[in-house]
Amino acid sequence: MLKWIDNAVFYEIYPTSFYDSNGDGIGDLRGIAEKADYVKSLGVDAVWFNPFFKSPFKDGGYDVADYYEIDKRFGTMEDFEYMVKVFKEKGIKIILDLVIGHTSDKHKWFKKSTLAKKNKYYDYYVWTDDVNTSYPGAIRGLYYRNGGYVPNYYASQPALNYGFNQLDEKAPWKLHYKDERLRPLREEILNIMRFYFDKGIDGFRVDLAGHLIKEGQVFDYDKYYDDYDEKTDGIQWLWGQLLGTIRKEYKDKVFIAEWDIPQLAITKCGFDMDFLTHDTFYFGDLYRNEKDLNLSPYFERGDNYFSPNGKGTLDNFVHYVEYLYGKLGDKGMFTAPTGTHDEVRMSTRKSPDLIKCIFAFMLTLKQVPMIYYGDEIGIEHNYSVSKDGGGKRTGARTPMQWDNGKNRGFSTKKTTYLPTSDKVGQSVAEQEKDKNSILNVVRDLIKIKKWYPALKASSDQTFIEKGYPAVFERTDGKQTITVLINPSDTVINKKVDYSKVIYSQNTQFDKDNITLDKQSFAILLK
Ligand code: GLC
Ligand code: CA
> Which of 16, 204, 342 maximizes ligand 1 atoms within 8 Å of its Cβ, making it the mutation to test the pocket?
342
H/E stretch holding 109 reads helix 108-113
User: pLDDT over 70 for what percent of the chain?
Assistant: 94
Measure CA 490 to chain center: 33
Q: What is the mean pLDDT of residues 104-132?
A: 97
Nearest CA to ligand 1 atom 12: 62
Backbone angles phi, psi at 248, to 5 degrees: -70, -30
Describe the crossing of helices 352-364 and 438-451 by its angle, rounded to 10 degrees.
20
CA dist 72 and 66 (Å) reads: 12
In the predicted model, is pLDDT for residue 291 greater than 60? no
Q: H/E element holding 142? A: none
d(CA 437, CA 352): 8
pLDDT of residue 229: 61
The ligand that comes nearest to the alpha carbon of residue 390 is 1
Q: Ligand 1 within 6 A of 279 CB?
A: no
Ligand 2 centroid from CA 341, angstroms: 19
Reported as a pLDDT band with limits 50, 70 and 90, residue 223 is low
Ligand nearest to the CA of 159: 1
Q: Given a cut of 80, is residue 301 above it in pLDDT?
A: no
Closest CA to 397 of 342, 335, 348, 351: 342
Q: Is the pLDDT of residue 389 over 60?
A: yes
- Binned at pLDDT 50, 70 and 90, residue 293 comes out as low
Q: Is 511 left (phi over 0), alpha (psi -120 to 50) or beta?
A: left
Residue nearest to atom 1 of ligand 1 (CA): 207
Distance between CA atoms of 247 and 253, rounded to whole angstroms? 8
Q: How far apart are the first and last CA of the chain?
A: 27
Evaluate: CB of 62 within 6 angstroms of ligand 1: yes
For the stretch 352-388, pLDDT in tens is: 999 999 999 999 999 999 999 999 999 999 989 999 9
Residue type, 237: W
Q: Which of 208, 256, 372 to mutate to test the pocket of ligand 1 (most atoms within 8 A of CB)?
A: 208
Cα–ligand 1 centroid distance for 187 (angstroms)? 23
Cα of 155 from ligand 1 centre, angstroms: 14
Q: Is the pLDDT of residue 420 over 80?
A: yes
C-alpha angle 400/404/405, rounded to 5°?
95
Reported confidence tier of residue 499, pLDDT bands at 50, 70, 90: very high
How far is it, in rounded angstroms, from Cα 335 to Cα 371?
10
pLDDT at position 414: 94
Q: What is the pLDDT of residue 260?
A: 87
Contact 321, 329 (CB under 8 A): no
- For the CA of 63, the closest atom of ligand 1 is 12
pLDDT at position 280? 61
Nearest CA owner, ligand 1 atom 2: 207
Confidence (pLDDT) at 231:
81
**Taking a C-beta distance cutoff of 8 angstroms, is the pair 399, 416 a contact?**
yes
Cα(62) to centroid of ligand 1, in Å?
Answer: 6
What does the pLDDT read at residue 359?
98
Reported confidence tier of residue 489, pLDDT bands at 50, 70, 90: very high
Give the pLDDT of residue 344: 86
Residue 88 has what DSSP assignment?
Answer: H
CA 306 – CA 311 distance, rounded (Å): 9
- Calpha distance 279→39 (Å, rounded): 28
For the CA of 99, the closest atom of ligand 1 is 12
Contact residues for 326 (Cβ-Cβ < 8 A; gap 6+): none
**pLDDT tens digit string along 233-278?**
999 999 999 999 999 999 999 999 999 889 899 999 999 999 987 5
Q: What is the DSSP letter of 254?
A: E
**Are residues 521 and 507 in contact, defined by beta-carbon separation less than 8 angstroms?**
yes
Q: Which atom of ligand 1 is nearest to the CA of 389?
A: 10
> Residue 220 pLDDT > 70, yes or no?
no
* Average pLDDT for the chain: 94
Confidence at 281, pLDDT banded by 50, 70, 90: low
The whole-number average pLDDT for the span 89-111 is: 98
Residue 110 pLDDT exceeds 60? yes
Give the separation between CA 463 and CA 503, rounded to whole angstroms: 19
Ligand nearest to C-alpha 104: 1
Query: What spacing in Å lies between the alpha carbon of 30 and ligand 2's midpoint?
Result: 8
Dist. CA 457–CA 42, nearest whole Å: 19
Q: What is the pLDDT of residues 444-472, one digit of tens each?
A: 999 999 999 999 999 999 999 999 999 99
pLDDT, mean of residues 491-504:
97
Listed in order, strand segments (DSSP E) in 55-191 are: 66-70, 93-98, 139-140, 148-149
Among 16, 53, 59, 393, the mutation site with the greatest number of ligand 1 atoms within 8 A of its Cβ is: 59
Residues in the chain: 526
How many whole angstroms separate alpha carbon 82 and alpha carbon 85? 5
* Interatomic CA distance for residues 160 and 39, integer angstroms: 35
Q: Which one, of 342, 449, 357, 336, lies nearest residue 392 by Cα?
A: 342
* Contact 396 CB / ligand 1 (< 6 Å): no
State what percent of residues in the chain have pLDDT above 90.
86
Quote the DSSP letter at residue 207.
T
Q: Report residue 349's pLDDT band, with 50, 70 and 90 as the boundaries.
A: confident
Residues 6+ apart with CB under 8 A from 229: none
Apex 124 CA angle, 122 and 125, nearest 5: 95
CB 409 within 8 A of CB 49: no
Q: Given this model, what pLDDT does residue 217 score? A: 76
Predicted local confidence at residue 299, as pLDDT: 52
Relative to the alpha carbon of 207, which ligand is closest? 1
Average pLDDT over residues 50-75: 98
CA 448 to chain CA centroid, nearest Å? 23
The set of residues, in sequence order, having a beta carbon less than 8 Å from that of 297 and lying 6+ positions away, is none
Q: What pLDDT score was predicted for residue 316?
A: 85
Q: How far is CA 309 from CA 194, 300, 487, in A?
A: 51, 16, 9
Confidence band for 512, pLDDT divided at 50, 70 and 90: very high
Ligand 1 centroid – CA 125 distance (Å): 18
Q: Which atom of ligand 1 lies closest to the CA of 152? A: 6
Give the strand pairing for 254-257 and 203-206. parallel
DSSP one-letter string for 412-456:
SSSS-SSPPP--TT-SHHHHHT-TTSHHHHHHHHHHHHHH-GGGS
If one counts every other C-beta atom within 10 angstroms of the C-beta of residue 412, the result is: 15
Question: What's the pLDDT at 235?
Answer: 95
Ligand 1 atom nearest to CA at 154:
6
C-alpha dihedral (396, 400, 403, 408), degrees to nearest 10: -70
CA distance 216 to 209: 12
For residue 471, the cross-strand partners are 465, 484
Beta strands in 254-389 (DSSP E): 254-257, 273-275, 333-335, 370-372
CA of residue 68 to ligand 1 center, whole Å? 20
Ligand 1 lined by 154 (C-beta under 6 Å)? no
Helix%, strand%, coil% for the chain, nearest 5 = 30, 20, 50
The confidence score (pLDDT) of residue 277 equals: 76
* Count of beta carbons in the 10 Å neighbourhood of residue 161: 26
